[in-house]
Amino acid sequence: MKSLTACAPVLAILASGCGVTEPLDGFPLALDGFPVAWMVTSCSPVDGPAVELYMGQAVPGEASNPSGPHLRIAIDRRAEEVRGNRYTSDDDPPSIFVAQHCVDRDQCYALTSVAVEFDRSGNTTHEYTGHLQITLPDGSKLQGGFHAQLHELLILCG
């Protein structure tokens, strides 16, 4: 099992996508290999509102279509509903409808399992913090904290 041993800072992407915030004092280490987190509003498979949590290695040029290695976890809930809740790939009915490890924009693999827990509060209404545990397709496990900024995209669901 891989563990968090590096002291990589936890970064959040600003809504403009061109900067980062400072790490939160006392915040858990970032997910090993994926130190940058952000979220985007989205649509669920049944055209309802959803939110996607991304973890990457660098600030993306486009929040909803990152290049390079990243994780993507899509949750069938509005962003404002996830605070203080835990979601797993084993939920019944499933609330996580996408759980992927992408090596680049066009090559993604399903994660074996995922659990994401959102803290009850954030510094602003667009900041989300929490903890993530995942099992990659090769069987390796990662866990760590995230501090993500929400990008509200103009999309129409339903």
Note down pLDDT in tens along the chain; length 158 residues: 333 222 222 222 222 332 333 334 444 567 778 899 999 999 999 999 999 999 998 768 788 888 889 999 999 999 999 999 999 998 888 899 999 999 988 899 999 999 999 999 766 788 999 999 999 888 999 999 999 999 888 777 87
Structural contact between residues 7 and 27, judged by C-beta atoms closer than 8 angstroms: no
Q: How far apart are CA 8 and CA 41, in angstroms?
A: 27
Q: How far apart are CA 116 and CA 137, in angstroms?
A: 17
Spatial CA neighbour of 37 closest among 113, 112, 107, 122: 122
Q: Which residues is 114 bridged to in the sheet?
A: 134
